[in-house]
Structure 1
Amino acid sequence: MLLLRRLVRAGRSWGTEARGLASGAPREAADAVVVGAGVVGLAAARALAMAGREVVVVEAAPSFGTGTSSRNSEVIHAGIYYPPRSLKARLCVRGKEMLYKYCEERGVAHKRISKLIVATGAAEVPKLDMLLRNAKENGVDDLQLMEGSEAMEMEPELRCLKALLSPSTGIIDSHSLMLSLLADAENLGTTISYNTSVISGHVGSNGLELHVCESKELQNYHEFVPTPHYARGCYFTLSQTKSPFSRLIYPLPEDGGIGVHVTLDLNGLVRFGPDVEWISDGGKDHVSCFLNKFDYSVNPNRCSVFYPVVRKYFPNLKDGSLEPGYSGIRPKLSGPGQPPSDFVIQGWDVHGVPGLVNLFGIESPGLTSSLAIAEHIVSKYL
């Protein structure tokens, strides 16, 4: 969520009156306030600072990128899956180009590793054709449809009937990316305030006024926040030292995600995931969700679901070779069985509040799209 203009720091002295301020509460002014220091928030702060704005970033956690930004597959997506002309499609394709260029210029660790999307049964083959057509409409014109024999020649441990090769898919060190974005923003004068939560805001004479407090005091001020849909995704790592694959391997998409896939990190570690475990109410109260107090532990017993799914394309996966890795939480705008939602970027042309830009549903491909999302915000709303 991005909010422009004035920051009002309320802290412990903030009163209980509705949207009021305690007498003498300290005030700080800024041209732009970015709420949230994930990869998209940091990219937005950088872009705003580059555009000449005085920027403050407020983050409820004690550090940057502690949520979805650091608990994902770290994949640079090509833009294959998303509906044509959607924000996800446009910003992913644009973001991919910007991200590769940025990483090369700044020395952020990444690799164009490519990936194979595989059909393991005859009923899945037409879906590859649909993905190929969809990708072309999105401007992704480097996909190659190949027979299973060709794909298995490239990846001997793979088993499939047909596959789509995506040469422009890659992997990235997301933490290094966020460190670089943060450094850029701070070098341009951006201030970041950790352990700081936004309580409320209103339109004042000088623009938006935001009331904030220390995150540990949030329980005292929190009002109703609409509940999004949450999906937990677990990853398991392969215990064997030599990787069976040199590329990313993806099954066809499923409800809530793009399937339990093979991801390689920049050190060659093999991970399988994420699966989809819907959490109807976030598993916590609203405040705990806002402060990212989720249970990120991985139940070792979930591997029993992984083995049969992975063996559809990796039949030589040995019993006992999967070890618990990590998990992440995907905040979604659509629930189980519902069509995937697009990114939602709302400015005052939509909600009528001058200076306010809201970002909702920024899940995958949010990492890939981060620089493009920031570019979109600056070009449309500044």
Structure 2
Amino acid sequence: MEDVDSLVIGAGVVGLAVARALARQGRETVVVEQALAPGTGVSARSSEVIHAGLHHPAGSLKARLCQRGRQLLYDYCAARGVAHRRCGKLIVATTPAQLPALRQLWAAGQAQGVPGLAWCEGEALRRLEPALRAEAALHSACTGIVDSHGLMQALLADAQAAGAQLALGSPVLGGQVTPQGLVLQIGGAQPMAIRARTVVNGAGLHAPALAARLQGLDPRGLPRSWRAKGHYFSLRGRAPFSRLVYPLPEPGGLGIHLTLDLAGQARFGPDVEWVDDTADLQVDPRRAAAFDTAIRRYWPDLPAGALQPAYAGIRPKISGPGEPAADFMVQGPGAHGVPGLVNLFGIESPGLTSSLALAEEVLRQLAPDRGLAA
């Protein structure tokens, strides 16, 4: 059996941020990833948006870690040369009936101290985005976009420079809580048992199921796992927008919004489809009709036939259809009683924005007397 100080399960953006933080504390750190490359799961199939923190209840982990993580992420990208742009976002009310909900969102953002918010309508809105049709919009100037793959490469490089190791093709099959630490059974080409003093379960879609396979962890504290598939379509040609455009939120997500990549290419999505199969990442071209209808509410001049299937992702939710959106669940020893174990459940959007702040939260729960480290 091999002994390590800290083991991180999952090499997505959050797992890599956690590994970086642990290694920079001087801990011997190993990251195990079931895929054959890092960052190919949930983290590779997002909108790549740096969120302002508008859409989450005051006092929630999502609100707090998104705001903290946004500033950490902008600073980190600038320091490490990760491509990003603070392009701004417009959240739109496309009918008079939606104006009260937009004003409520504006008031909530102001109450939480979200910076860079401004109400925009009429000529001022037309000057910002002439092609946009809306009664009014909430302008979020601090929203941005980032090269998520470049970010993960930088986090991995930092972690490895601090001594962390990455083991690919190494799924965690199960484990057991022992007085000497957590013993995990690792599969792959070279199966082995690893005993770790600290384990961070950042397995994304598979985190609840993995936790359920840890003997000695009370299963009554584990959340139910739900999966929401989101499809994306890209635009043939260039869009006449320089900012992201979001409708008001809808059940299960933030609506079919327009985002831009760093090259200026527009993509639309995600929608919400509740699924059981995490392997099906195909985009059904027939969904383009519903996308077309949704997009034309704020961009009526969308060219006919301009949408083409792009990609799909699956969000690791811990609340299901018709239920209020669940908060992030960072479940440490204080919640489940197992020393050295932190489970990360329901880390969907704004997980990318919050990744560095989530790493701080993990360290806090592992060793609250040692303070925060970035």
TM, length-normalised to structure 1: 0.86
Matched with 1:298 is 283
- SS of alignment partner, residue 316 of structure 2: strand
Query: Residue 254 of structure 1: CA displacement?
Result: 0.5
Asked whether the equivalents of residues 348 and 355 of structure 1 are also in contact (C-alpha less than 8 Å), the reply is yes
Asked whether the equivalents of residues 211 and 343 of structure 2 are also in contact (C-alpha less than 8 Å), the reply is no
The CA distance in 2 between the partners of 1:297 and 1:83, in whole Å, is: 33
Matched with 1:232 is 229
Say whether residues 1:269 and 2:265 are aligned partners: yes
CA deviations on 1:330-371 (whole Å, 9 max, x unpaired) are 110111111000000111111011111111000000000000
Matched with 1:325 is 310
Structure 1: tracts of 5 or more residues without a match: 1-26, 284-288
The CA distance in 2 between the partners of 1:302 and 1:249, in whole Å, is: 20
- SS of alignment partner, residue 189 of structure 1: coil
Aligned CA RMSD, in angstroms, stands at: 1.8
Comparing 136-145 with 331-340, greater Cα deviation is found at: 136-145
- SS of alignment partner, residue 133 of structure 2: coil
Query: Residue 190 of structure 1: CA displacement?
Result: 0.4
Within 5 Å, give how 1:1-382 maps onto structure 2.
27-214=1-188, 228-240=225-237, 242-279=238-275, 282-283=276-277, 289=278, 294-382=279-367
Comparing 345-354 with 106-115, greater Cα deviation is found at: 345-354
- SS of alignment partner, residue 171 of structure 2: strand
- SS of alignment partner, residue 208 of structure 1: strand
Query: Residue 195 of structure 1: CA displacement?
Result: 1.1
Mark the CA change 1:122 to 1:35 in structure 2 (over 3 Å): closer, same or farther: same
Query: Residue 116 of structure 1: CA displacement?
Result: 0.3
Asked whether the equivalents of residues 89 and 245 of structure 2 are also in contact (C-alpha less than 8 Å), the reply is yes
AA matched with 1:55:
T
- SS of alignment partner, residue 90 of structure 2: strand
Asked whether the equivalents of residues 115 and 142 of structure 2 are also in contact (C-alpha less than 8 Å), the reply is no
Asked whether the equivalents of residues 114 and 168 of structure 1 are also in contact (C-alpha less than 8 Å), the reply is yes
The CA distance in 2 between the partners of 1:127 and 1:223, in whole Å, is: 39
AA matched with 2:337:
G
Structure 2: tracts of 5 or more residues without a match: 192-209, 214-222, 368-374
The CA distance in 2 between the partners of 1:339 and 1:41, in whole Å, is: 26
Query: Residue 39 of structure 1: CA displacement?
Result: 0.2
The CA distance in 1 between the partners of 2:28 and 2:356, in whole Å, is: 19
Asked whether the equivalents of residues 36 and 60 of structure 1 are also in contact (C-alpha less than 8 Å), the reply is yes
The CA distance in 1 between the partners of 2:107 and 2:40, in whole Å, is: 36
- SS of alignment partner, residue 196 of structure 1: coil
CA deviations on 1:174-197 (whole Å, 9 max, x unpaired) are 000000000000111101111111
Task: Using the aligned pairs only, state the percent identity.
Answer: 54
Asked whether the equivalents of residues 115 and 165 of structure 1 are also in contact (C-alpha less than 8 Å), the reply is yes
The CA distance in 2 between the partners of 1:250 and 1:230, in whole Å, is: 22
Matched with 2:197 is none
The CA distance in 2 between the partners of 1:167 and 1:69, in whole Å, is: 24
Residues matched between the structures, number: 341
Mark the CA change 1:302 to 1:116 in structure 2 (over 3 Å): closer, same or farther: same
TM, length-normalised to structure 2: 0.88
Query: Residue 204 of structure 1: CA displacement?
Result: 2.5
CA deviations on 1:210-260 (whole Å, 9 max, x unpaired) are 22212899xxxx9966761111111111112x3210100000001111010
The CA distance in 2 between the partners of 1:151 and 1:90, in whole Å, is: 29
- SS of alignment partner, residue 157 of structure 2: helix
The CA distance in 2 between the partners of 1:66 and 1:79, in whole Å, is: 25
